[in-house]
Amino acid sequence: MADDKAAILKGTLDMLILKIVALGPIHGYAISQRIQQISNRHFQLQQGSLYPALHRLENRGWLAAHWRATGTGREAKFYKLTAKGRRRLEAEVESWERTAEAVALILRTAE
Amino acid sequence: MRWLMRLFRRSKLEAQLDSELRFHIDERTAELIAGGAKPAQARRQAMIEFGGVERAKEECREVRGWSFLETLTREIRYALRSLRRSPGFTAIAILTLALGIGGCTVIFSALYGVLYNTFPFPHADRVTSFAIQDLSHPGSGREDLSMREFLYYRAHNDVFEDISGEYGGFGSTPVRWTTGNSNYQFDADYLSVNSFKLFGENAVVGRLPTDADVKPGATPVFVIGYKLWKAQFNGDPKIVGRYFTLNGVPRVLVGVMPPRFRWAWVDVWIPFTVNPAEALTDPALKNQGLYTVGRLKPGVSMKAAAANLDVVAHQYAKIEPRLYPKQFDVTADTLANRVTGGFHRLIYPLFYASLILLLIACSNVANLLLSRATTREKEIAIRASLGATQGRLVRQFLLESLMLGVAGCLGGCLLAWLGIRDIVPLIPYNAFPQEAVIQLNPPVLAFALGIALVVALIFGLVPAIQGGKGRFQSRLMALGRGADAGGLRHGWLRGLLVVVEVALSITLLIGAGLLLRTTFGLEHVNFGYDPAHLLVFQVSSPQSSPQTLRQALAFEPKVLRAIEAVPGVVVATVADSAPPYGGFSSEIEVPGVTHASRWSSLLDMCSPGYFAAFQMHLLQGRLLSETDIDGARRVAVINEAFARKYLGGVNPLGYQIQFRIFDQLPGAPNARYPKNTEFQIIGVVSNVRNYGLRQPPAPEAYLPYPVWPFPEGTILLRSAVNPTSLLPSIQRTVWAIDSDLAVTNPATVESMLNRDVFSSPRFEFTFAGVFAAIGLLLVMTGIFSVMAYTVSLRFHEIGIRLALGAQGGNIFGMVLKKGLALVGVGIAVGLLASYGLTRYLANQLWGVKPTDPATFLSVVILIVLAGVLACYIPARRAARVDPVIALRQE
């Protein structure tokens, strides 16, 4: 079973995070859960590597973070998308779609 | 700054990072437990899914970018630890640097304080001094203006905001403050009332004098200096507004000037008016010569100022032609430049010497670091093989050097602080204006830190480059024998540093040697008389100052006769000059003798005792007699130099001399005498030094003093006993004549010589000597450490040689030869460099050529001896190596 789980493509983790955070403020653990759910557990994410990515995005100003209580009353660090991050997400999505289309086109025509 | 903020934020961020990750793991654990797992197992599972917590943290930190600071702190800590591990090395390196940096800093503090921060006035660079320069005698000029001239310049120039005039300063005007039965004496200066605003400094207590204070009928006022206020009045602000009886005149003290206001180097300033109508009718003012400076308007250049003043001067020359030479122009410069020229020449050679000393210290430390780098090859190789990058290793070396540099800088500042405290009093009297302060202020500290960093970079880079070279593998493999391989590799660089040190030290030693010979030569100049047992003082009558001519003439002969009667006094005379300098200089003409160039002579106003006091021999004719004095006869005794230079080959007796000075000086009583007054030569006396000690005796003429008497009579006497012991009885004698007369400014000629003539060369020699001695000491330790190190590297080889039958003596010779070879090369380079450099010292030298062979030779001998001494211990240790032990070390 482990074999059909692909490692997240290089460079796509940032896009996935931005996309998830775009839905609303969310903490790190929830992000990792969402990545697993949305991708139908198709991607394998080493959970620990999520955090350097989050911190990197925060450091670049694409994410903003603040501390607040979760539903269980515990303090957690919530991330949300900044305006700069939103633009970045749009650019990444567009570039990704173009690449995916191009790859799909090649695959179809080469048949 | 941002780093610092981050340091404080660091712990907070760290805590947040920790709780963020813990939250993740706790949530996952809780979820797994909810899914039915046992708590311990759930936790374990969560940890596995998460991956390495510490690694995630480390990556997050690096994302944040604060790892650099952490690395740096770690590296600094490592550098400190590694320096602590070899305390001997560290101590020597820091001490060496402290000596080098301290020396530079002391000299720089003097250089900065005097040359770049001379005056405390705001925009001091606009305070300008100007002079009327006789074009037939360039280089000197008249800086004093007559009162009328001063007022004309003030009204007609376009370049100055205002000009200031002063008379009577520099200790020439004692004022007596009478309070109750006590008298105190201070030095005063008369300062034009507009000067206070011009200089731009406010009174610390009270106010500055104003125009209203000098109006006719206004209450006379004065201000005092900060130092006097503190010393005499305990800094009591209440004394402002009080009346003081100065020279019999009650004056109100209106203000206390700030500490660095020392204009004309006095403690009391009395304002006078610059209103033309009042100044030109006041008998005390209208004939005054005023030392004049101006404050330039903003944006006016020196050149423009000189050009404008030149126009004004030529206009005024038509009004009062006798004050101006035939051909003249006006020179202008900042006052600071004008008054610090001598100090400039004094301090710059020392500054260069201190930089040379710093370079010696620097190469010494480089050498120490190099030896250390070689012995640390093992450590470096291990660190490199464990993954330290080359850049990181170089950074490590530089950091260690920087630590040494900073420590050396602290030590240097401490030495400089001690040095400035002890050395400032040694700086020759009059060498710099009293307004200047020499201290360890922020610019000086910045300089010290700056040179420390530059020096650390230089000496740190040498071993850093060596140590950073990427040949770690071979080094690691050669570990067992690594040391002596390294010794061979770096030998040339260490040798080079020794050569440089020796060469630098030679230039210092030769400079000091030349200055020593100068000082010695000056102290053994034949004056033409015995400078011991001569006393100079003034007899003044403050109550009735300014004195009339008649009074001066009346009391002097009486005073002279009374003083000569004091037991112990051999002879007393009137004199207007301070040995070894003659009196005024004047252009002269001798009717009947034609000449192409300009003739000038010194002239001294004296009484008959002068010749005996200066032990001159009469060569021809006769000396001045009492009749000449009483009648103020127009006669002159000339010295041999005069006769030789201007009247060679003829009998000078009977010729007449005209002194142009009587036609030019304001204040000279020439109004009473016809112009072109001729003085008949009645005698010729032997030469004495009258133009300083560095110059041969100049032509001089001795005239009866009543021809041009001064209100403050200067009296010189030769005694049979210690002249200062006579002072009380002289004072009593003078009081017996007139209780109002005071003996002021007494000084022996010897003390004046020490203060004015010998102090500069002695100061310069002392400093250069100290620098040269420290330099030599550093060079010796440098040679010693290199040779000792070489011997320790070749321990094994020496053992083999001894085992194969070499004698201890051979080994001793071998080491000595190697050391002296380095010294020899250094000597050759140093001699060449000195040959080129000492010419820049020429204007501080006297009686010795900059390339004096004897000095050069003595220095070579000295440094060879020092070299032998430095090599002796390492060589002896090499010769005593026990072959058995040496070979076993393999």
SS (H, E, C) B610-634: HHHHCCCCEEEECCCCHHHHHCCCC
Last residue of a domain, one of B65, B87, B119: B65
**Distance of alpha carbon B362 from alpha carbon B732, whole angstroms:** 62
Domain boundary among B38, B65, B92: B65
List the helix and strand counts (H, then E) for chain A.
4, 5
* Residue to test with chain A: of B23, B24, B25, B32, most A Cβ within 10 A: B24
Of the candidates B20, B24, B63, which has its C-beta nearest A56's C-beta?
B63
pLDDT digits (tens, 9 = 90+) for B778-822: 999 889 888 888 888 788 888 888 888 888 888 888 889 988 999
pLDDT of residue B756: 81
Assess whether B318 and B346 both reside in one domain.
Answer: no
Asked if B417 and B456 sit in the same domain, the reply is: yes
- Check pLDDT > 50 for residue B342: yes
Q: Is residue B109 part of a domain?
A: no
**Of B602 and B542, the one with more pLDDT:** B602
* Averaged pLDDT for residues B319-339: 88
Q: Are B318 and B184 contained in the same domain?
A: yes
- B751 inside domain: no
Domain with residue A71: its CATH number is 1.10.10.10
Number of domains making up chain B = 4
Query: What is the distance between the alpha carbons of residues B118 and B146, in angstroms, rounded to a whole number?
Result: 27
At A74 the pLDDT is 85
CB B436 within 8 A of CB B118: yes
pTM listed for this prediction: 0.74
What single DSSP character describes residue B162?
A: E
Tokens coding B515: 């200055």
Contacts of A56 in chain B (CB under 8 A): 63
Could you tell me how many CB contacts below 8 A there are between chain A and chain B?
Answer: 54
Q: B173 and B309 in one domain?
A: yes
Q: For chain A, how many structural domains are there in total?
A: 1
Q: What average pLDDT score do residues B149-158 get?
A: 93
For residues B461 and B551, membership in a common domain is answered with no
For residue B670, is pLDDT > 70?
no
User: What long-range pairs does A69-73 form, CB within 8 A, spacing at least 24?
Assistant: A70/A27
Identify whether B469 is part of a domain: yes
* Nearest chain B residue to A57, by CA: B63
Q: How far apart are CA B868 and CA B614, in angstroms?
A: 52
Å between B161 CA and nearest CA of chain A: 59
Q: Is the pLDDT of residue B593 over 90?
A: no
CB-CB neighbours of B59 under 10 Å: 18
Q: Is residue B124 part of a domain?
A: no
Helix (H, G, I), strand (E, B) or coil at B86: coil
Residues B551 and B423 in one domain: no
Whether the CB of A51 is below 8 Å from some CB of chain B: the reply is: yes
Q: State the residue range of the domain holding B173.
A: 138-324
Residues 6+ apart with CB under 8 A from B522: B693, B694, B757, B758, B761, B846, B847
CB contact under 8 A, A59 and B64: yes
Q: Are residues B311 and B271 in the same domain?
A: yes
B267, B297, B324: which is the final residue of a domain? B324
Judged by CB atoms closer than 8 Å, whether chains meet at B59 and A52 is answered as yes
The answer to whether the Cβ–Cβ distance between B20 and A28 falls below 8 Å is: yes
When pLDDT is cut at 50, 70 and 90, the band that residue A84 belongs to is very high
Please report residues of B whose CB lies closer than 8 A to that of A71.
none
Counting Cβ atoms within 10 Å, is residue B451 exposed (0-12), middle (13-18) or buried (19+)?
A: buried
Both tokens assigned to B80: 């400190």
Same-domain check for residues B371 and B422 = yes
Rounded-to-5 percentages of helix, strand, coil across chain B: 60, 15, 25
Q: Which amino acid is at B867?
A: G
Could you tell me the residue range of the domain that residue A67 belongs to?
A: 2-109
B302 with B370, same domain: the answer is no
Work out the angle at residue B512's Cα, subtended by the Cα atoms of residues B506 and B514, and round it to the nearest 5 degrees.
Answer: 100
Predicted confidence (pLDDT) at residue B473 exceeds the cutoff of 50: no
Contact A47 B19 (CB under 8 A): no
Element (H, E) at B60: helix B53-64
B336 part of a folded domain: no
- What does residue B336 show for φ and ψ, rounded to 5 degrees? -60, -45
Q: Bigger pLDDT: B272 or B55? A: B272
What tokens were used for B392? 């990181």
Q: Is the pLDDT of residue A8 over 80?
A: no
Chain B closest-CA separation from residue A99 CA (Å): 28
Chain B interface residues (partner A, CB cutoff 8 A):
16, 19-21, 23-24, 26-28, 49-53, 55-56, 59-60, 62-65
- Chain A interface, mutation test: which of B20, B32, B59, most A Cβ atoms within 10 Å? B20
Please indicate, yes or no, whether residues B488 and B424 belong to a single structural domain of this protein.
Answer: yes
B56/A48 Cβ within 8 A = yes
Query: Same structural domain for residues B398 and B515?
Result: yes
Average pLDDT of chain B to the nearest whole number = 85
The 10s digit of each residue's pLDDT in B44-92 is 988 888 888 888 887 887 776 655 666 778 788 888 888 888 888 899 9
**What percentage of residues in chain B have a pLDDT greater than 70?**
91
What pLDDT is stored for residue B482 in this prediction?
41
B268, B246 in Cβ contact below 8 A? yes
Q: B582 with B595: CB under 8 angstroms?
A: no
The pLDDT of residue A62 is above 60: yes
How close does chain B come to A97, measured CA to CA in Å? 28
Terminal Cα distance for chain A, rounded:
29
User: In chain B, whose CA is at the least distance from the CA of A30?
Assistant: B24
* CA B650 – CA B644 distance, rounded (Å): 9
The interface pTM score, or ipTM, of the predicted complex is 0.87
With bands split at pLDDT 50, 70 and 90, how would you rate the model's confidence at B8?
A: low
